[in-house]
Amino acid sequence: MLQRIQTVYLLLSAVISAGLIFVFHLWTTQSDQPFYAQDNLYYIGLFITSTVLSLISIFSYKNRKSQFVFGRLNIILNFILLGLFVYQSLNISGEANVSEKGIGILLPIFSIVFLVLANKAIKKDEELVKSVDRLR
């Protein structure tokens, strides 16, 4: 059912992954130009994949197990994205490309939090259905 709380969490995760990447920059280069996710094909691809996984998870509400699996895959994808951001910002010697970090680097963390909350709600629904099936 679409009126569950996990739908709200998954929708918030999709909005973070699809919409806010165009608003907040990831970092500022040495020439004081903001670097957005759409400037790099890998970053935009990972963000769009995360959005698609969230939307697929929203509309697979009839199969809670696959919804849970899509949530876990999305969490792993956001951890990979976060790892790429940390690698990019810390591995550059003498700050060759990254001058100042932006709030966009934190977007995968916010997405992970909402995905964990959604998976927790999905698991709670699954346990509720199993307990009702035991009573029949």
Q: Residues 103, 108, 111, 116: what is their CA dihedral angle, to the nearest 10 degrees?
A: -130
Residue 16: partners with Cβ closer than 8 Å, 6 or more residues away: 107, 110, 111, 114
Q: How far is CA 46 from CA 21, 61, 100, 136, in A?
A: 11, 23, 22, 44
4: its two tokens: 């569950």
Contacts of 94 (CB under 8 A, 6+ apart): none
Whether the pTM exceeds 0.85: the reply is yes
Structure confidence at residue 55 (pLDDT): 94
Per the structure, the count of domains in the chain is 1
Query: What is the model's pLDDT at position 99?
Result: 60
Confidence class for position 39, pLDDT limits 50, 70, 90: confident
Give the amino acid at 52.
V
- How is residue 25 written in tokens? 């920059």
- Range of the structural domain that residue 58 is part of: 5-135
> Is pLDDT above 80 for 79?
yes
State the pLDDT at residue 24. 84
Stretch 88-101: mean pLDDT: 63
Asked if residue 123 has pLDDT above 90, the reply is yes
Quick check: 75 and 116 in contact, CB under 8 A? yes
Per the structure block, which two tokens stand in for 10? 């998954």
